[in-house]
């Protein structure tokens, strides 16, 4: 079970869900939320990472719009609110808040040697931008929405980045997927895996597009990636 901590920035303070490993000797991991806030799914992912030995932290990136958003994908009203938040969200400020979270993790008494980041949906885009704009040591993005609009930033990638792409993603058109693949497939820091037949959020436990097999495969690939990149 984790705890809520407060992260200070020049613009104000925001909360984050922090889960500590039993033996805090490994890297830290920033978990970047979907459009549903720091909900049970994100907290569970954070707890699982702590159980694997990471100092794991999931920042509340919607705090500028509405603090403590905690909704699901199980009702039309929640989807409506999630998209309202998504459309109002300032991506650039969100990356700044992730950078502050990275600084918080590096300064934690556990003193992790390295910090990784893993993001989903909106967080998948933010994971890409975290890799290009911050001092993160490695990042993973699951079915990131809007990455194709920021591909010029790939020139700034200095640390490893892994992307998981759902080939039937309703929020990432085929044209966008093709552009991402064409632009990044030969980048020395980028690893990409595509999942045929999978739709957006195929790794979201309990979601309508959840696929246990490919979720497990993506998880295995993610863990192997971080084991190597954060060694």
Q: Are the C-beta atoms of 200 and 172 separated by less than 8 Å?
A: yes
Q: pLDDT value at position 70?
A: 97
Catalytic, out of 97, 137, 169, 214:
169
11 a catalytic residue? no
Confidence of residue 84 (pLDDT cuts 50, 70, 90): very high
pTM of the model: 0.97
**CATH label, 3-229, candidates 3.30.2270.10, 3.90.1150.10, 3.40.50.1820, 1.10.3720.10:** 3.40.50.1820
Burial of 189 (0-12, 13-18, 19+ CB in 10 A): middle
Closest CA to 153 of 91, 200, 97: 91
Q: pLDDT value at position 109?
A: 85
Only one residue has tokens 């556990």, namely 110
- The string of pLDDT tens digits covering residues 102-146 is 999 999 987 677 999 999 999 999 999 999 999 999 999 999 999
Query: Hey, which residues does 215 pair with through a beta bridge?
Result: none
Q: Are the C-beta atoms of 63 and 85 separated by less than 8 Å?
A: no
- The string of pLDDT tens digits covering residues 47-74 is 999 999 999 999 999 999 999 999 999 9
State the CB neighbour count (10 A cutoff) for residue 94. 22
200 a catalytic residue? yes
Cα 224 to Cα 146: distance, rounded to the nearest angstrom:
26
Q: pLDDT value at position 115?
A: 97
Query: Hey, which residues does 15 pair with through a beta bridge?
Result: 6
Catalytic, out of 60, 137, 164, 200:
200
Domains of the chain, by residue range, sit at 3-229
- The string of pLDDT tens digits covering residues 3-40 is 999 999 999 999 999 999 987 667 999 999 999 999 99
DSSP collapsed to 3 states, 25-57? CCCEEEEECCCCECCHHHHHHHHHHHHCCCEEE
The β-bridge relationship of strands 12-19 and 28-32 is unpaired
Q: pLDDT value at position 112?
A: 75
What size, in residues, is the chain? 231
Q: pLDDT value at position 190?
A: 98
Confidence of residue 231 (pLDDT cuts 50, 70, 90): confident
Q: Are the C-beta atoms of 162 and 140 separated by less than 8 Å?
A: yes
Helices (H) and strands (E) in the chain, counts: 6, 8
Cα 135 to Cα 28: distance, rounded to the nearest angstrom:
13
Question: Which residues 6+ apart lie within 8 Å of 8 measured at CB?
Answer: 100
- The string of pLDDT tens digits covering residues 173-213 is 999 999 999 999 999 999 999 999 999 999 999 999 999 99
Give strand ranges (E) for 55-122: 55-59, 115-120
Q: pLDDT value at position 163?
A: 98
């Amino acid at each position: 079970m984790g705890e809520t901590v407060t992260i200070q920035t020049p613009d104000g303070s925001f909360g984050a869900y922090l889960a500590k490993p039993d033996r805090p000797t490994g890297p830290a991991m920033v978990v970047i939320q979907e459009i549903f806030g720091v909900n049970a799914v994100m907290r569970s992912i954070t707890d699982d990472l702590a159980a694997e030995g990471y100092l794991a932290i999931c920042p509340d990136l919607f705090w500028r719009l509405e603090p403590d958003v905690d909704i699901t994908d199980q009702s039309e009203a929640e989807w409506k609110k999630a998209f309202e938040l998504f459309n109002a969200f300032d991506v650039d400020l969100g990356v700044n808040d992730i950078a502050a979270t990275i600084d918080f993790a590096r300064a934690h008494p556990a003193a992790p040697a390295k910090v990784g980041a893993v993001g989903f949906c909106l967080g998948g885009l933010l994971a890409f931008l975290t890799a290009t704009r911050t001092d993160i040591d490695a990042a993973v993005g699951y079915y990131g929405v809007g990455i194709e609009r920021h591909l010029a930033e790939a020139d700034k990638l200095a640390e490893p980045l892994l992307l998981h792409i759902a080939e039937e993603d309703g929020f990432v058109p085929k044209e966008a997927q093709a552009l991402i693949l064409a632009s990044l497939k030969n980048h020395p820091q980028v690893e990409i895996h595509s999942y045929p037949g999978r739709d957006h959020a195929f790794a979201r436990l309990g979601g309508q597009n959840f696929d246990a097999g490919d979720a497990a495969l993506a998880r295995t690939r993610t863990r192997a990636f971080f084991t190597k990149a954060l060694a």
